[in-house]
Amino acid sequence: MARALLDGHGRTVRYLRLSVTDRCNLRCLYCRSNVMQRCIPHSQILRYEEITRMVGIAASLGVRKVRLTGGEPFARKGCDGFLVMLHERFPDLDVRITTNGTLLAPYIPLLRHVRVGAVNLSLDSFDRATFARVTGRDLLPQVLAALDALLAAGIRVKINVVAMRGVNDGQMDDFVHAARNMPLDLRFIEFMPMGSATPWSVENFWSTADIQAEAERRARLIPVTADAAESGPARMYRIAGGLGRLGFISPLTNHFCLSCNRLRLTSDGALRTCLFADKEYRLRGLLRQPRITDETIVRVIRRACADKPVGAELLRARRGAAVAVKQMVGIGG
Ligand code: SAM
């Protein structure tokens, strides 16, 4: 294997997030900012073979974990075949998926077959009206059915809740109930000011400290130590007497940049080294030129990593509300 992929701050990159599409069947208010954006033309979206080549290159540089995200990964035709292809070519790779769960149910046997490491389900409310308000669609029953089916299939589940004051801050009873009664991780993510038209504001920001205090009024939380590889940026807690765990991801109030080990590839083939940095390294053209070898692409990836910024500094330096111009739906979270 080639030498590991180090960035300019001594961090080792082992994790690649792949946005397989910029299309989504939901219109989450924190993600798309309710602004209608034109979808990227199909010809500019990486073909599955091209993404697979990128995964091979990344794996040769020491990447061990890959996450499919989007847009909504299951909104792209052939996502199931792509999962099979990844499994066959890279049987040791830890493949995970982030999904809104609305289209997921028919694919659950396949996820089990290809041994997906975990499914991250974006689920910001267990209340049907709030779910519809956040996502623009009344599809909570479908997501809850998929959640039950995932657990029945023995697939590891992490629920991601984007925490927003005035939206889901009155629903802590439901969140604690879910984590107490189901064998899953439920992680609150601080609302990030992403995308130029973001509705983020000081008023709708719900900080980890306040979320955790609210949770601790309902449950005794026992810190989980040294689980970094599995919990990523989340600080995890067991619930005394419960089946699941609660976690807190605090990109704004307690950033985790120093342990960041990830790279992102957008659906149109651009490498992003930091969620908060709009700088992109366009690889699609290179991937489509027959004379360009993997070695050339490796050189671009290494150069990009060497310039990887510290997101917290960008956050501090931001002017106006948003830290990055691109919306999350185009980055993949
Ligand atoms: N469609 C898939 C889904 O809903 O999970 C994958 C894409 S979505 C962009 C990936 C993740 O980004 C979700 O877990 C979502 O909660 C998170 N996300 C999007 N916008 C966010 C924001 N402004 N702040 C915090 N998290 C955000």
Domain boundaries, the chain: 15-331
Min mean pLDDT across 55-64, 111-120, 297-306, 322-331 is at 322-331
pLDDT number for residue 321: 73
pLDDT number for residue 329: 86
How many other C-beta atoms lie within 10 A of the C-beta of residue 42? Answer: 9
CA 2 to ligand 1 centroid distance, Å: 33
State percent of the chain over pLDDT 70.
96
- Averaged confidence pLDDT in the chain: 94
Shortest-distance Cα residue to atom 22 of ligand 1: 192
pLDDT digits (tens, 9 = 90+) for 192-238: 999 888 999 999 999 999 999 999 999 999 999 866 546 789 999 99
CA 299 to ligand 1 centroid distance, Å: 30
* Residue type present at position 46: L
Q: Would you say residue 265 has pLDDT above 80?
A: yes
Q: What is the mean pLDDT of residues 124-149?
A: 98
Q: What is the mean pLDDT of residues 150-167?
A: 98
pLDDT number for residue 323: 86
pLDDT digits (tens, 9 = 90+) for 26-80: 999 999 755 556 789 999 999 999 999 999 999 999 999 999 999 999 999 999 9
pLDDT number for residue 218: 98
Q: Give the pLDDT band of residue 116 (cuts 50, 70, 90).
A: very high
Q: Would you say residue 262 has pLDDT above 70?
A: yes
Give the pocket of ligand 1 (CB within 6 Å): 24, 30-31, 69-70, 72, 98-100, 122, 160, 162, 189, 191-192, 194, 328-329, 332-333
How many other C-beta atoms lie within 10 A of the C-beta of residue 110? Answer: 15
Q: Would you say residue 280 has pLDDT above 80?
A: yes
Q: Would you say residue 256 has pLDDT above 60?
A: yes
Q: Would you say residue 1 has pLDDT above 80?
A: no
CATH of 15-331, one of 3.20.20.70, 3.40.640.10, 1.10.260.40, 2.60.40.420: 3.20.20.70
First to last CA, the chain: 29
Contact by Cβ (8 Å): 16, 66: yes
Taking the CA of residue 190 as reference, the ligand 1 atom at the shortest distance is: 25
Structure tokens at 298: 């490796």
Taking the CA of residue 72 as reference, the ligand 1 atom at the shortest distance is: 1
Using a cut of 0.85, tell me whether the model's pTM lies above it.
yes
pLDDT number for residue 36: 59
Q: Which of 160, 186, 198 to mutate to test the pocket of ligand 1 (most atoms within 8 A of CB)?
A: 160
Shortest-distance Cα residue to atom 20 of ligand 1: 31
pLDDT number for residue 6: 93
Alpha helices, DSSP H, located in the chain: 48-60, 79-89, 108-113, 128-135, 140-152, 172-181, 208-216, 228-231, 284-287, 294-306, 311-317
Annotate 300-316 with b (16+ C-beta within 10 A) or e (fewer): ebbebbeebbbbbebbe
